[in-house]
Amino acid sequence: MNGFLQFNNNNLSKEYVAFQIGKNEHLINENKELYYTEREHIFYNRDNEIRNNSEVINNKAMQYLNDIHNYFIKHNTDYKIIISPLYDQVKFNSNDLSKLYHIFGDENIYDFSGINSITSNKYNYYETSHYRETVGDSIIKQIYFE
């Protein structure tokens, strides 16, 4: 995940914890503007140009996804697949999304990628690949309670 995750080397210890939500949430609540100002290099300006991810689900991946789906069916698993809202605002590839719909069903796939109300607000993120707890809560409410 080099280049995608931003780690604070001050957090390193014998037991490495890559990401500490509580600490970051505390820093934001303590001084929101300082938190984001100190991370300006992470929260780059986006140009609102629509960008799509390249297609990545090949035949081998389809086999794995079908195996996962069959496992879900075998064990009567109630599941949802969430495509995360990342800061880069790159939209999940439409062909890959169609493949997921075909295997898992439209009712089980939730795509929050691309440009939307979540990804347009830098204050929704700790860094470019971890969104804040309030965003997670909002996604869960949309999926299960709306």
| pLDDT tens per residue across span 80-117 | 999 999 999 999 999 999 999 999 999 999 999 999 99
One-letter amino acid for residue 35 of the chain: Y
Angle between helices 59-74 and 94-104 (to 10 degrees): 30
Tokens of residue 64, six digits: 């794995």
pTM higher than the cut 0.85: no
Average pLDDT over residues 50-66: 96
pLDDT tens digit string along 34-47?
999 999 999 999 98
CA distances 115 to 3, 51, 61, Å, are 21, 9, 26
Positive or negative, the CA dihedral 46, 49, 55, 57 is positive
Find where tokens 């990342």 sit.
Answer: 86
Nearest alpha carbon to residue 81 among 43, 107, 118: 107
Who's near 69: CB < 8 A, 6+ residues apart?
A: 103, 104
The answer to whether residue 15 scores a pLDDT higher than 90 is: no
Q: Are strands 51-52 and 90-91 parallel, antiparallel or unpaired?
A: parallel
